[in-house]
Amino acid sequence: MSDRLLGVETEYAISAMAGREAADRQPIVRHLLEVAHSTLPHISDLSSSGMFLENAARLYLDCGLHVEYSTPECMNPWDAVRYVEAGHRTMLDLIGKLSAERLAEVETGCYRVNVDYSGAGSTWGCHESYLHRMEPELLPLHLIPHLVSRVVYTGAGGFDPFCRGLRFTLSPRAAHIERAISADSTSDRGIFHTKDEPLCAGHHRLHVLCGESLCSHAAMFVKFGATSLVVAMAEAGLSPGEAVQLASPLAALRLVAADAECAAPLKLKGPSRMTAIQIQRHYLNLAELHVGDAFMPLWAPVVCKLWRQVLDLVEAGPAAAAKVLDWPAKLALFVGHASSRGLDWERLAFWNDAVDRMTEAMALPPQGGKFPLEQAIGIETPIPDVVYEIEARMRRKGFQWDELRQILALRAEFLEIDMRFGQLGPRGLFAALDGAGVLDHRVSGVDNIEHAMKNPPNSGRAKLRGAVVKRVAGDREGAWCGDWQRIFSPKYRRSLDLSDPFAQTEVWNDEPVSGRAAALQ
């Protein structure tokens, strides 16, 4: 059987509140990293001001004041989920220590979220990496239909960040994806990211940036496991995506994200159409057909079994999947909150379209600020033709402007529910639901999270990196530092070679001092 290697990078949103006012996040985030440097066993990161931890993970500050935690290299989806959760708990511990130091000065929160509803246009990434040996330019053919259609179980749920109304979406981050294929990661993002930075010898690395931070273990497990199997099948020459090529991948992604019933037919190249679930079943059936082949990992049967169970739940409707997956769980919360506030959830679609129409007519930017409703519908409306058209539709359907006023007045409450769903700690809504036994998302074998916070996986170079970090973390005189492919001491001029991702024994070399390592002496 074939070994697979994968990793996950999670960007966290940090909030800082001084009373009821938002505080400057920059000093808070900087202080958080200082707390990490002073309390976590680590070595310095050669490529940034970050660090490699004793569990072989990497913690650092990314662009946009995004604190990022990269898991160690994992050889199975259980470890991938385990070390994502270890990152969450590490961040929560750091937030607790930071709060204790600052006392009541600022209340700090940490969130696994995907978009910013404030109007700033921010999005937080949850990037996946999959090691492979095939030519990278051949992968989009096979991966794009999978990445588009897997949203039915990998979507985090929430609201379209570019709609001034309340339009539910399976994947808020999908609104920030602008191309089928792109090399950019901070703008003009693609469904398929062409970045190929192997960070090791003899392999390529698929870097997926269209995914989202999830709370459900089952959703994460199938996301990592199914995508690993699709990569394995493509690498083995099975051409898994050839029969399900999408006519317009970006349009298909938009359609999948907007369809809570997961039943919208997606146009393929040629005369055929398939739903996202049918496309996923195409990949799953092929994986099951080859589950015992030599190129498949030992854990492929477990992934295929849960993959099928999850697709069956999604096909049965959002209510059937609400205890297992993120987006159906959020949808249930939103519908319940709407009902408690006297809103008919089904009527939101009309008002979202109306708000979009008025926003476009008034040439308003899609983000930021409150929708100027009274200006739009007042006696001196700047868009009389659009307003009259909307009012004609309202009369036919029995709608009143007061209903829209109520929706916009309550919009902030719904957005807060979305943000709090992924908040780390007891205030998080997912954590509260999980603690109350409402959910059924856990995967057998995803355990020992506390152990994973301080210990690396049991195999591969991550095991070696973690062991060395544990040994040398207290040796400040040696000024130990590293990157994914080596660990180095400028004093001792010794380097641990980690270029083989599957290395099992430590290989040390004498090495001259150069670059940033020399500056650390």
Catalytic residues, by residue number, are 62
**In whole angstroms, what is the distance from residue 294 CA to residue 233 CA?**
11
Backbone angles phi, psi at 32, to 5 degrees: -60, -45
* Residue-wise DSSP of 389-410: HHHHHHHHHT--HHHHHHHHHH
DSSP strand pairing (494-497 vs 486-489): antiparallel
Distances (CA, A) of 38 to 69, 94, 97: 17, 11, 11
Q: Where are the beta strands (DSSP E) in 318-359?
A: none
**In whole angstroms, what is the distance from residue 277 CA to residue 265 CA?**
10
422 token code pair: 């992924």
Q: CB of 452 within 8 A of CB of 441? A: no
Residue with tokens 């057909």: 289
60 token code pair: 């650092």
514 token code pair: 């150069």
Residues in a beta bridge with 503: none
- The kind and range of the H/E element at 266 are strand 266-267
Q: Where are the alpha helices (DSSP H) in 139-205?
A: 139-149, 151-154
Q: How many CA atoms lie within 13 A of 498 on its CB side?
A: 25
Q: Where are the alpha helices (DSSP H) in 373-448?
A: 373-377, 384-397, 401-421, 429-435
**In whole angstroms, what is the distance from residue 399 CA to residue 395 CA?**
6
Taking the alpha carbons at both ends of the chain, their separation in whole angstroms is 45
Q: CB of 41 within 8 A of CB of 167? A: no
Going by C-beta distance under 8 Å and a sequence separation of 6 or more, which residues neighbour residue 434?
A: 215, 441
Q: Where are the alpha helices (DSSP H) in 155-297?
A: 217-235, 249-258, 276-289
